[in-house]
Structures are given as C-alpha cells and as structure tokens.
Structure 1
Amino acid sequence: MSAIENFSTTQLQNVIPSYLYQEYADDDDLQAFVDAQNALAQGYQNWFLQTPLGLYTAPSINGPLLDWVGQGVYGISRPVLSTQTSRRVAGYNEYTYNTFPYDGLKSSVTGTAQIASDDIYKRVLTWHLYKGDGYQFSVLWLKKRIARFLNGVNGTDYPVLDVLPSITVSGSVFTVNEAYSQSLVFLQQCISNNVLALPFQYSIVINAVTLSSDGGVLVVNPFAGYPSNSTSLPPGNIYSNGGAVCVVPGITPNPSAPPVYFGSITADELYSLGGGNLPLTNPGVGTGQLWNNGGVVCIA
C-alpha cells in the first residue's frame, strides 16, 4: 500500500495525440493550436499518473483532494476529534434553589473539537480499508489494527508483528496497554468518537503507560513531561536522564515513609511525590518496590 503506482508502459504514459488533416498541415496557426492541445492533454495525463487517486497514502493526495478521495471514492469523511461534553439543565430539581429562574433552561459545552489532520485521516482510512487481517474480530485482529494505526505514518502499512500492544480482556472490556504517545491520544479520541469500526458488543479502554522497566531501571516516556536534567531542581525531585528516572541527590529518606511500587503509581503521581523518600538499598528482589540506586530509580 505504501508504494506509489508505477506506469512503466509507454502507451500508458503518453496520450494519443490529436493531429491536423493533411490539407491543413501547412497552416502554422492551426498546427500551433494542435500542439498546445496535445501539451495540455499530456499535462493532465502526467498529473493522473503521478497522483493515483485510489492510493490515498501517496504524498500527492492531501488537503481537499484527500477529502475528495476519502469521501468520493471510499465513502469515509474526514473525522472530527472532539472532547466536548454537553450539559443541559432544566426542570425543578436540576439546579440549586434560588440560583436560576424557576422555568429556566441552561445549556453548556466544555472541551475542544478539531478536524483530523491528513496523517490521522489516512490512518483512519487504513483502519477501515486494510484487507490483510480479514474480517473476523479477535484479539490479534485488534492488536494489528492498533499497531498499524499507531505506527503507520500517513496510513502506510507497517510490520505490526514487531510492535503489538498488550491487550487484556475482562468480560466484554478490552484494555489496551501501550506507551503514551500523541498517536495513542489520537487513537483514544477516534475510539471515543466512534470513528473507527469496532464490534459494538465490546468496549475498548486505552491505558497510556508512561512508566516502564528497562532491565530493572524505571523508564519514563518522553511525553510524560519530566525535566530533562536536574538543573535548578531541589534535592529529592524527579527528572528524566535520557528516559531513566533519576532523583536529585541531597536528601535523607524518611524510613517510615510508605513504600512505592511499580505498576501502582503513575508518572504524574511519582513526579508529585518525588524520590527523596525512596530507600537507598534494594528492599528485596521481586517485590517491585522502587528504590534509589545511586540517583537512578530502580525496580526491586
């Protein structure tokens, strides 16, 4: 899907030129007109050869032309990704007494809405149009679709078997555990706005993982917003050293502080808590407790 169509046959690359009847062939003005017409026709032909309309992943398919192809050829409109929620207050028991007119009506809208970019629009098209996974829903089908959406820039194909996300199932709820990224945010918005085709019997929950383990070292995803160095940070604060979670030295841990365990604390919670009270020695292999290993947060 990611390759651009190549018309290498000469007959397909060139239009059949128009020509003058022999009795007019010596008329320079008419010949110039025919030559101009052939040049224009060849220009249109070249554009169509370089812009294969059915291949929406082509770089030349963008903007309004992408909308025309997505809607006109495939019947899929450019989605609007919205976080808006609407609230309508009306009725006797819907608001605090004496704060609103007795027969009043109040509507409010919160959140944001934005039209999907070309990149996200193409990923949505690929979600619906990719045929290689078949039509039978399964956990593997869902993993492939999600991996292709997250990594297939501009809707292109991707070797998804190398990057399948973790999915757990509880009843009819499928929980997707994946490292936080902007693509994951867009996926979450697409699912919540019913943009992507999914079985209505199931619910899909996106769990953005920002903390992970790299050989026992606690690693934070760049999108978590941690400081990239310890400059100007007070002792005990948390920062990211190339992804590894580190603690600014200079503070003595409180031995009575409650333990902190990997998997039970989020990146935001750890950043707010700080690392000053993490133990300075390994509290026990296999416990999953976080500890300060010479300034680097490790997982026991």
Structure 2
Amino acid sequence: MQIESFSTAPLQGVVPSYLYWEFSDDDDLQAFVANFNDLAQGYLDWFNQTPLAVYTSPFIYGPLLDWIGRGIYGISRPVLSSTANLRLAGYNENPYNTVSYNGLFYSTNQTASASNDDIYKRVMTWHLYRGDGQQFTMQWLKNRISRFVNGANGMDWPVLNDPPNITVSGNVFTVTSYDSVAYQALQLCYANSILEFPFQYQLVFITDSFVNDGGVLYLPIALSYPTDPTGLPDGAVWWNGGVISVIPGVIPDPTAPPLYFDFTFPPDLLALGGGNLPLTNPGSGTGQLWNNGGVVSIA
C-alpha cells in the first residue's frame, strides 16, 4: 500500500556492518553480524513504511497513534460519554407495580469510553483537513460529515458522491443520514464537543435506520436508495415506498455470508445488493434477511 510518495526515494537498504578480517572465520560472530544487519534493515523498512505525520497509515495505531496525535497535532484521543435517563411518573403512564401511586422514579446511567483508532483518526481528519477551506458554509459541513461517516480510518472520501441531507431552520442544521457505526460516533463526538464547529450554530441529527415492519424490511427515508427499479441491475435493492425490494434475476450463492436485521445498516445492504439473500425463510426468529418474492423480509 502506497502511503507517501517521494521525489527522491529514501534509502532502502542499510550500510551493512561487517567483521574485521581476522574474525571472518568465526561462524558465531558472522551469525551475530548477520542478525544485527537484519534488525537494522527491519528498523529502516518500518520507518520507510511509517511516515509518522501520516496518521491514516495502517501502520500507525494504538499508543503510537496517541503519541502522534498529541505530539504532532495536539489532538488527544476522544473520550465518548453518553447519558441515559429513566423517569417513571404520572397517572396511567406506566404498568402497575412499577412505581408507587403518585410517586416518581428517576435514574441516570452514564457511560464513558475512549474511542477506538478508527474514530480517533476520523476526528483528526475533521480538524486537520484543509481542502474544504476554513470558511463555514453548507458545502463545508456536508463535506466534513460525509468524510467522517464514510472515510474509514480518517481517509479522504469523494464527498460529492454521497452527501448527507441537511436542512436549515434559523441557526439549526438538521442532518439526516443512514444509520451506521460511524454516524452514531459522529453524534457522540458532537454531543461531547469534540468536533470543531461554529458555536453560534446547532446540529440536530436524524437517523434513517431499518425498521422491522411486521417481518418486512422498511426504511423511512429513501435518501440515496433508488426509488425506481428501471435500469437497475439484477440483484440490486431499491426503495419501494419504504419497503426494500430486490430486482430478480440472480441465483443466490449458498456460500454467501448471511445478513441479519440487527447488524445490517442501510448503506451496507445498498452496496451488497439483495441477490444473495435466500429465497426461502431461513428459520423463524433468526432475524436473518431473505428475499420473499422480491421483498426483503426478516425471518
């Protein structure tokens, strides 16, 4: 994988160590010197493959990523916290025997965890990417969000291919996007004030996620899903008024990994298509997706 290019290639091989002539017939010393040269070459290869400033490199991870993030860019690994509140009160609002009559029950549960390397790198790219300029505009915001959601490990992304849906009302920007792990992380990062964003504006997030509608896979908003089957290839999925449908014509591969409702996000299914979904119910209650006569259903 090409991580960085050089106009002049860096040194590819170390200047080898060698024995003085009077020790050249000692096999043990020759082996020692050979191992020393191998170790030195390994260090050189690592430094050539791991330009420290390029944090998106797959060779930069864990403590090394923390050292680079803090030492070079001044960005610490984000700590993501979330709070869940439970309130039980009100007449005829809760099942019997869950709260005393005319009583109030309130609890708060808070969790906090350090982000993984992938999210850390996406946060760094949000702060460090200069191609969008430093002037806040609608396009700047779309680019930042699209790059965060789609650019694995902070890599760049062709943002114009898949821009998020954003509406504006006053100083509130409402972002609508498909449910995904990265989109959930984006919301947590914003809620924890980790992302650079103009203080005079506010972001509101709407998550477009799959719904189990009586055993049928349903998506509330089409966004980038095709809404017309015309011209779609065999096996492609499309948005049929909310119901996810499959273009016929593909014989499913029995070795294809199964897709499950709980673990499949809308962009994943759009990319994979529905051609390899089983044509018969794989087992009631399993939650596996299957092709029920052209309609994606949930077992």
Q: TM-score, normalised by structure 2?
A: 0.61
Mapped partners of 2:263, 2:160: distance in 1: 26
User: Quick check: 1:212 aligned with 2:221?
Assistant: yes
Instruction: Give the secondary-structure state (helix, strand or coil) at the position aligned to 2:11.
Output: helix
Letter in 2 for 1:138: T
What amino acid maps onto 1:205 in structure 2? Answer: V
Corresponding residue SS for 1:60? coil
Q: Is the 8 A contact 1:83 1:189 kept in 2?
A: yes
Distance 1:75 1:244, change over 3 A: farther
Distance 1:121 1:42, change over 3 A: same
> Judging changes above 3 Å, is the alpha-carbon distance between structure 1 residues 240 and 204 closer, same or farther for their aligned structure 2 residues?
farther
Distance 1:18 1:8 in 2: 28
> 8 Å contact 2:172–2:202 — kept in the other structure?
yes
- CA apart distance, 1:231: 7.3
In the TM superposition, 1:13-28 aligns within 5 A as 13-18=12-17, 24-28=20-24
Residue 171 of structure 1 is matched in structure 2 by: 170
Q: Does the 8 A contact of 2:125 with 2:154 survive in 1?
A: yes
Residue 123 to residue 3, structure 1, CA distance change in 2 (3 Å): farther
Q: Which amino acid aligns with 1:76?
A: I
SS in 2 for 1:64: helix
**Aligned counterparts, 1:45-60, within 5 A:** 45-60=44-59
Letter in 2 for 1:193: N
Q: Which deviations, in whole Å up to 9, do the C-alpha atoms of 1:127-179 show, x marking residues without a partner?
A: 11111111111110000000011111111111110101111111111111112
Deviation at 1:115, TM superposition (A): 1.6
Is contact 1:7–1:49 with CA below 8 Å preserved after alignment? no
Maintained 8 Å contact 2:166/2:175: yes
1:137: which partner in 2?
136
Task: Let me know the Cα RMSD of the aligned residues.
Answer: 3.9
Corresponding letter in the other structure for 1:219:
G
User: Is the CA contact (8 Å cut-off) linking 1:127 and 1:149 kept in structure 2?
Assistant: yes
Residue equivalent to 2:268: none
Letter in 2 for 1:200: F
Unaligned runs of 5+ in 2: 86-102, 210-219, 229-238, 245-260, 266-276
Cα distance in 2 between the residues matched to 1:146 and 1:223: 24
Q: Which residue of 2 aligns with 1:40?
A: 39
* Structure-2 separation of matches of 1:188 and 1:223: 20
The separation in 2 between residues aligned to 1:142 and 1:76, in whole angstroms, is: 20
Worse-superposed segment, 194-203 or 76-85: 76-85
CA distance in 2, matches of 1:132, 1:74: 17
| CA drift at 1:39 | 3.3
The count of residues paired between Structure 1 and Structure 2 equals 220
Shift of 1:26: 2.4
Counterpart in 1 of 2:67? 68
Q: Is residue 219–residue 245 contact of structure 1 (8 Å, CA) maintained in 2?
A: no
Corresponding letter in the other structure for 1:212: I
Q: Distance in 1 between matches of 2:82 and 2:295?
A: 32
| Corresponding residue of 1:194 | 193
- Maintained 8 Å contact 2:10/2:48: no
Amino acid corresponding to residue 187 of structure 1 in structure 2: L
User: SS at the partner of 1:167?
Assistant: strand
Judge conservation of contact 1:220–1:244 (CA < 8 Å) in 2.
Answer: yes
SS at match of 1:212: coil
Q: Which residue of 2 aligns with 1:90?
A: none
Largest Rg, 1 or 2: 1
Paired with 1:113 and 1:169, the residues of 2 have a C-alpha distance of 31
Aligned partners of 2:149 and 2:182 also within 8 Å: yes
Counterpart for residue 147 of structure 2: 148
What amino acid is aligned across from residue 42 of structure 2 in structure 1? G
Matching residue's letter, 1:218? G
Cα offset for 1:5? 2.2
Shift, 1:38, TM fit: 3.5
Deviation, structure 1 residue 212? 2.0
Q: CA deviation at 1:110?
A: 1.5
Equivalent residue number for residue 273 of structure 2: none
Structure 2: distance between partners of 1:25 and 1:8: 39
Structure 2: how far apart are the matches of 1:182 and 1:189? 11
- After superposition, what is the alpha-carbon deviation per residue over 1:47-97, rounded to whole angstroms, capped at 9, x for unaligned? 1112222211111111222222212221111111110379xxxxxxxxxxx
Shift of 1:224: 9.6
